[in-house]
Amino acid sequence: MSNKRKIIYAILFFVLVGLVYAGNFAIQYAYIGSSYNAKTVCSCMFVSGRDLENIKAEELYAVPFSTVKVDEVNKSVTANIYGLAETKAIYRKGLGCTLVNELSEEEIKKQPSVPSADTLTENLLMVDDLGGIDKVALEKSINEAFQEKDPQNVIRTRAIIVLYEGRILAEKYASNIKPETPLLGWSMTKSVTSAMIGLLVKDGKLDIKKSAPITEWQNDKRKKITIDHLLRMSSGLGFEENYAAPSDATQMLFRKKGAGAYALLSKAATEPDKVWSYSSGTSNILQEIIRRQFSTQADYFAFPYQRLFHKIGMKSAVMEPDASGTFVGSSFMYATARDWAKFGQLYLQDGVWNGERLLPEGWVKYSATETPHSDGKYAAHFWLDHQDKTFPQDAFMAVGFEGQYVTVVPSKNLVIVRLGCTPKDNFNHSALVKGVVAAVK
């Protein structure tokens, strides 16, 4: 065979390999995109109670080319992308929406329900005395957070609520959102997962300084990883947190039956406590640890509701599980702005509610203590902003994709919640917090 022919065959071979790779990538991307759209539409319709056309216009900007079909009778959503991929999400009362991944719909529906909170009542009161508050400055800061100044960079603020000394100081909603509308917290769910760990620490079931109780890790380097390392995103596990392409994160959230079970397969990349690396995988590993503390799935499902949400009056809270029945503790929790504010208030009150200590003593301080190597940005499943010295330095935050924030400012006795759908994640959270803080003299 001549050298020229060999070169031609080699070129054809690599072209073929490239086409196969590109085709495989396209199919993977299509499945992730259809899963994202099916799950998003399902939750926004059946958990939040929003209009389908509004959801398509605002939520599906990342994957606008899918066909979405809604079955309102059976409460399910199917999304299809050019016939390459079709995915289904199903709604269950109290559990929200779950993608039908690697298990049948019938198997998923056999899972238990969560305990009802129908008897809970709203227990947030309005501030009745505005003494010491610059009302004009406060309203200005909140109104600015709703203003759309650039059509190319929409911010879509949906809800803002400010609690001062445990009472509602200010509250505002977008035209299509009500105080009763549960909204997605995205990665603010991580902070709730941390609270669940705290509850088990208080019960004496977990010790965050000991090796994480994961049997699969006990015969390799990962046996050195503690729950503390996982909470502070310093586990040393290799996990690709990339949402622009098929990755560990997108496979975990949108293609696998068990998010935590998938994430705990991650290999050790570095020694624990040497590198800070934000990873949604670690939050779902924590949920896997939490689930393993219960003998039945019903007990596990009931745990956050009976021990946390119902205790502080979070009637609207919905944590959504994956197909295996484990809460997606990195990303999928819905609650109204008022209920997200209650979660922040619990932390402002050092984990105590109505005189009852829910979180262990010292847990809030631990949660707000800066993690080494994080450049002043991260604590333990809560965020900080120690780089900006004009930002209140005692503040700590639950933060989620598209501009979700629960900000706790102990020195001002404030909790500031902002919920929205900011596609480029460029909402000016710092300006809102500084404006509200300045208004409280």
**pLDDT reported for residue 302:** 98
CATH number at residue 188: 3.40.710.10
Confidence of residue 14 (pLDDT cuts 50, 70, 90): very low
Per the CB < 8 A criterion, the answer to whether 435 and 416 are in contact is no
Q: How confident is the model over 225-234, as a mean pLDDT?
A: 98
Residue 122 pLDDT greater than 70, yes or no: no
Q: In what order do the strands lie in the sheet with 96-99?
A: 67-71, 76-81, 85-92, 96-99
**pLDDT reported for residue 244:** 85
Same domain, 281 and 144: yes
Same domain, 151 and 297: yes
Domain span including residue 60: 3-92
Hey, what are 316's tokens? 């609207």
Same domain, 298 and 176: yes
pLDDT digits (tens, 9 = 90+) for 24-42: 667 888 999 999 999 999 9
Any domain includes 201: yes
**pLDDT reported for residue 3:** 60
**pLDDT reported for residue 13:** 43
Which domain-ending residue is among 92, 127, 155?
A: 92
Any domain includes 196: yes
pLDDT digits (tens, 9 = 90+) for 127-168: 877 788 999 999 999 999 999 999 999 999 999 999 999 999
Any domain includes 176: yes
Same domain, 257 and 370: yes
Same domain, 170 and 84: no
**pLDDT reported for residue 126:** 79
| CA 378 to each of CA 217, 240, 385, 428: distance values in angstroms, whole numbers, following the listed order | 26, 19, 8, 19
Residue 112: CA count within 13 A, CB half-sphere: 12
Any domain includes 115: no
Which domain-ending residue is among 59, 92, 125?
A: 92
**pLDDT reported for residue 289:** 98
Confidence of residue 439 (pLDDT cuts 50, 70, 90): very high
Phi, psi of 221 (to 5 degrees): -60, -25
Same domain, 328 and 277: yes
Q: How confident is the model over 332-360, as a mean pLDDT?
A: 98
pLDDT digits (tens, 9 = 90+) for 357-395: 999 999 999 999 999 999 999 999 999 999 999 999 999
**pLDDT reported for residue 127:** 80
Same domain, 82 and 182: no
Any domain includes 114: no
Which domain-ending residue is among 27, 58, 92?
A: 92
Same domain, 231 and 370: yes
**pLDDT reported for residue 16:** 41
Same domain, 247 and 149: yes
Residue 97 pLDDT greater than 60, yes or no: yes
Query: What is the rounded average pLDDT for all residues in the chain?
Result: 93
Any domain includes 105: no
Q: Please state which of the ranges 6-10, 273-277, 369-373 shows the lowest mean pLDDT.
A: 6-10
pLDDT digits (tens, 9 = 90+) for 71-92: 999 999 999 999 989 999 999 9
Same domain, 54 and 157: no
Per the CB < 8 A criterion, the answer to whether 217 and 353 are in contact is no
Same domain, 53 and 182: no
Q: How confident is the model over 252-260, as a mean pLDDT?
A: 98
Any domain includes 121: no
Transcribe 52-110 into DSSP letters.
Answer: HHHHHHHTTTSSTT-EEEEETTTTEEEEEETTTEEEEEEEETTTEEEE--SS-HHHHHT
Q: How confident is the model over 337-343, as a mean pLDDT?
A: 98
Residues listed for the chain: 441
**pLDDT reported for residue 149:** 93
The total domain count for the chain is 2
Any domain includes 402: yes
